[in-house]
Structure 1
Amino acid sequence: MRPFWLAQALQADTSDTCPALQGEVRTDVCIVGGGYTGLWTAIMLKQQNPELAVLLIEADICGAGASGRNGGCALSWSAKYFTLERLFGVEEAVRLVKESERSIHAIGEFCEQYGVDADYRLDGTLYTATNAAQVGSTDAVIAALERNGINSFTQRPVADVQRMAGSSKHLEGWFSPAAASVQPGKLVRGLRRVALQLGVKIHEHTAMTGLEEGRAARIQTPDGCVIADRVVLAMNAWMARAFPQFERSVAIVSSDMLITEPRPDLLQDIGLTSGVTVLDSRIFVHYYHNTPDGRIMLGKGGNTFAYGGRMLPVFDQPSPYAGLLKRSLDDFFPAFADVKVDATWNGPSDRSVTGLPFFGQMSHSGNV
């Protein structure tokens, strides 16, 4: 059974599954992984060089991993400023925050350019405190952003925060317009369509079973082999399982979500009427937003840990923390106490040591 977002997206996307790879093929670039990272890489390569032969393999169907089941909160790296500064220095940290905010707008521009209906809403985000211990926890990073001329957040009166967030549980809040919400399954299936239109060859149900480095590299699959001048490994949480050297770089941890039945009338009553994303100040945050058809999606990170790169069966099942999620929903939104929960799900997230993505060269040949 597919997670809610992907199942909903597949109702609209009735295209055929791309055939599994058979036999040996040659390509300029082979991308392993059919989520946001892999598909956007493929699209940008074809946009910059339409003649480039780009082939993508995906173990399941495109979007079956984190890209088709995440919370749908498109956020910048502003809150990570101190980590960015510690790792890269002030000048690069400032550049990365600016670029991360620009990327939020770029998602919307992409959807508009290619007619991707991903429920993209550029309605901003609220970083809030939901208990006394969290109050003031955002002050230092806001001050640093302000000092460097890159602060997009303003502190809002508590009454405004509670009205915008639809909940009286919030004790303070900072609002930034540089954030969006999306239906993540629709976005990833839209990326797949655009990649195919641009000439990317996609093979679904084609897992990488081995990688022989060299010039060229050889990517083994169950029924074939790809010989590629360059390889992009865009597997994210699945990297630790495939390559033991990443076991100590990332912890595999779940994010668990629920979504209610549509109740636009109640959303109107509580004031949660925009696509604003709302996050509290925990390390493994609560996060939520509404949907255009009147649902509330609420999630919480950090419930199931799977060390050593293991992919646990629970990651493809309804959330075992459904009761916890429902109690959180009721706590934030008492008016939704009797509203039916249509689905719960979870999935593996690769939590890196720094909390930031990392990328780099993996092979001695310099082409992976």
Structure 2
Amino acid sequence: MTTYRLWQPAVAAPADRSFWLQDAGGGPVTRPPTGDADCDVAIVGGGYTGLWTALRLREQAPDLRITIVEADFCGSGASGRNGGQVHTWFAEIDLLERLVGIDEALRLCRATADAIEELAALQASGTIDMGLRLDGWLWTASSIAQEGAWEKAVALCRANGEDRFRPLTAEEIRQRTGSDVSYTGIVEPRAGTVQPAKLALGLRALAMSRGIAIHERSPVRQIDSGSPSTLHGDGWTLRAPKVVLATSAWASAIPELRRHLYIVDSQIIATAPLAGTLDRLGWTGGESICDAQSHVLYYQRTPDGRVVFGRGSGNVAYFGRPTAAYNRRPTGRIDNIRELHRVYPTLRGARVEYDWTGPIDCTPEHLPVFGHLEKQPGIFFGVGFNGTGIAQTPVAGRILASLVLGRDDAWSHSGLVGLSRRSTLPPEPIRYLGARIVRRAIRARNDREIRNESAGPLVRWLSSLTPGS
């Protein structure tokens, strides 16, 4: 028997939760388990990955007893604090091709396109009111250094008969975003934005309606492997022959996974409603927009006229452990406000009503990884979504369901399965110290390149040392 001790998330104070979570409400949480219980599959984590895995299992094996245990409430982690951007894996097809080959890359990309249609069907049927707006995903450049960031992905798509992107002129970008700062780019038309917390809560309700047991405010303290494995909480135990770890950044508590994961955060702000101002700028749609700088910038206009504006920070968690600072950094909004004013100078007087932070589980390949723990064929994991998950986690659910059910199919044989082909990161404290040096270099280079200036050779070299470069 092996014992795995899990880290406990620092639960965000109500005022530090994302705009999405505060806007969605959520209603009463479910009760923790009581005493000793059994199930066929226990899923640790009630975000997108855990919920989609439970739903895929229910589709394929209706009689399974499936239990989700969530430390806070469903969607309170990355699923309820992200930027709400929905796009396929075609934007990462070059990364996928390098890791899994072109045939598997195309299959996975097409599966994310199918997932977007699944989300659209769930909304159209009234099953989940997620605020999905498929007005397009814009990948743009606002400086010379950012130009052509999409060229490899576009070329691979075209070479394989996938006409997924259309080039944008400066005038088209201005008309769709209300800003003339970005002047070239591409659009993926069948993509857009969603209210991510409403999606998570909708998946929760759908899972419960299909007989999946969900226990919130139920942190798992440790897992004892075995047949069955035993999950231990505060005053309860849950036994299951199959366990799925769907805890995103907190999966780095497992040493075997931590060797392949690094945890960073993203900082996001939301303004007060500005519908009249945004209408006058011509920004009326639900597009998701990205700026191709190193610390990626992403933003959208909400239906009620707020600007949600996020930016990768590069802040690396020591030992891979997210702390309370990964809920909210009081000074984190400064960089975002500066960038908001750069992109939208006319919004300098806009009031920022919300700011929050969220941890992101990253792999050096910038793609998720799935499998089971070494010598533990009954304990599965799916981690490393690198901040891109709304159309990707429905696919992750298919992979994990096939692994749990022992299926011999394309999902269980996906090239995303298995740690053996993934890069291993340096141990601590080398990882943390090195990451801080690289982060400073990236910030310095990024800030100069935004002004169309060149960084020095040392800064350029240090900034190139990011994992997967």
TM range (shorter): over 0.9
Out of 245, 249, 263, the residue aligned to residue 233 of structure 1 is 245
Aligned to 2:37: 25
Letter in 1 for 2:361: D
How far is the alpha carbon of 1:145 from its aligned partner?
Answer: 1.2
* Amino acid paired to 1:190: G
Q: Which amino acid aligns with 1:205?
A: R
Does the alignment pair 1:9 with 2:24? yes
The DSSP-based 3-state class of the residue aligned with 1:64 is coil
Alpha-carbon distance in 2 for matches of 1:344, 1:319: 8
The residue that corresponds to 2:304 in the other structure is: 293
Q: Which residue of 1 aligns with 2:402?
A: none
Structure 2 CA distance for partners of 1:319 and 1:125, relative to 1, 3 Å = farther
Deviations 1:11-50 (A, max 9, x none): xx32x21111221101011000010111111122223333
1:56 is aligned to 2:31? no
SS in 2 for 1:344: strand
Say yes or no: does 1:348 pair with 2:359.
yes
Give the CA deviation at 1:130.
0.9
Once the two structures are TM-superposed, the CA of residue 257 in structure 1 deviates from its matched residue by 0.3
d(CA) in 2 for partners of 1:316, 1:137: 30
Normalised by the length of structure 1, the TM-score is 0.95
Q: Which residue of 2 aligns with 1:154?
A: 166
Q: Post-superposition shift, 1:114?
A: 5.0
1:81–1:97 contact (8 Å) kept in structure 2: yes
Q: Tell me by how many angstroms 1:261 deviates.
A: 0.7
Q: Please list, as runs of the form range in 1=range in 2, the aligned pairs for 1:257-268 lying within 5 A after superposition.
A: 257-268=268-279
Query: For the Cα contact (< 8 Å) 1:261–1:339, is it kept in 2?
Result: yes
> Which residues of 2 match residues 1-368 of structure 1 at below 5 A?
1=14, 2-10=17-25, 13-14=26-27, 16-113=28-125, 115-241=127-253, 243-362=254-373, 364-368=375-379
Identity of aligned residues (%): 35
Residue 178 of structure 1 and its aligned partner are, at CA, apart by 2.6
Q: Which deviations, in whole Å up to 9, do the C-alpha atoms of 1:250-274 show, x marking residues without a partner?
A: 1110110000111111111111111
How far has the Cα of 1:120 moved from its partner?
Answer: 0.7
**Could you tell me whether the CA contact under 8 Å between 1:27 and 1:228 is conserved in 2?**
yes
How far apart are residue 319 of structure 1 and its match? 4.7
Kept in 2: contact 1:216–1:230 (CA 8 A)? yes
C-alpha distance in 2 between matches for 1:318 and 1:177: 34
Ranges in structure 2 where 5+ consecutive residues have no aligned partner: 1-13, 380-469
Structure-1 separation of matches of 2:151 and 2:330: 34
TM-score normalized by structure 2?
0.75
Q: 1:30–1:238: structure 2 CA closer, same or farther, 3 Å change rule?
A: same
2:149 and 2:34 map into 1 onto residues whose CA distance is 54
Cα drift, residue 91 of structure 1 = 0.9
* Contact map agreement 1:257 1:319 (CA 8 A) in 2: no
Q: Aligned partners of 2:117 and 2:318: how far apart in 1?
A: 35
Q: Give the 3-state SS of the residue equivalent to 1:305 in structure 2.
A: coil
Q: Measure the CA separation in 1 of the matches of 2:370 and 2:294.
A: 23
Q: Structure 1 CA distance, aligned partners of 2:19 and 2:371? A: 33
- Which sits farther off after the overlay, 105-114 or 66-75? 105-114
Summarize deviations over 1:293-350 as a string: whole Å, max 9, x none: 1111000013421132211221122553211111111111122111111111011011
Q: Aligned AA for 2:143?
A: N
> In structure 2, what residue type is equivalent to 1:64?
S
1:320 corresponds to which letter in structure 2? Answer: T
Counterpart Cα distance in 1 of 2:155 and 2:349 = 41
Q: Which letter does structure 2 place at the counterpart of 1:74?
A: V
Contact 1:251/1:307 (<8 A) preserved: no
The one-letter code sitting in structure 2 at the alignment partner of 1:5 is: W
Please give the per-residue CA displacement for 1:85-127, whole angstroms capped at 9, x wherever unaligned: 1111111111111112221222222233453111111111111
2:165 and 2:186 in contact (8 A); partners too: yes
Alignment partners' CA distance in 2, 1:113 and 1:359: 31
Question: Which 4+ runs in 1 deviate beyond 6 A?
Answer: none
In structure 2, what is the Cα distance between the partners aligned to 1:287 and 1:324? Answer: 13
Letter in 2 for 1:290: R
Q: CA RMSD in A?
A: 1.4
Cα distance in 2 for residues equivalent to 1:350 and 1:320: 22
Distance 1:216 1:39 in 2: 22
In the TM superposition, residue 232 of structure 1 has moved relative to its aligned partner by 1.0
Per mean C-alpha deviation after superposition, the further-off stretch among 99-108 and 273-282 is 99-108
CA distance in structure 1 between the aligned counterparts of 2:152 and 2:221, rounded to whole angstroms: 46
- Mapped to 2, the partners of 1:313 and 1:64 lie a distance apart of 14
Flag the structure with higher strand content.
1
What's the secondary structure of 1:320's corresponding residue?
Answer: coil
Give, as a single letter, the amino acid of the residue that structure 2 aligns with 1:3.
S
Question: Distance in 2 between the 1:111 and 1:25 partners?
Answer: 35
> Whole-Å Cα distance in 2 between the matches of residues 296 and 128 of structure 1?
17
TM-superposed CA distance for 1:363, in Å, is: 5.0
Residues matched between the structures, number: 364
Q: 2: distance between equivalents of 1:89 and 1:316?
A: 37
Amino acid at match of 1:70: N
| Residue in 1 that maps onto 2:419 | none
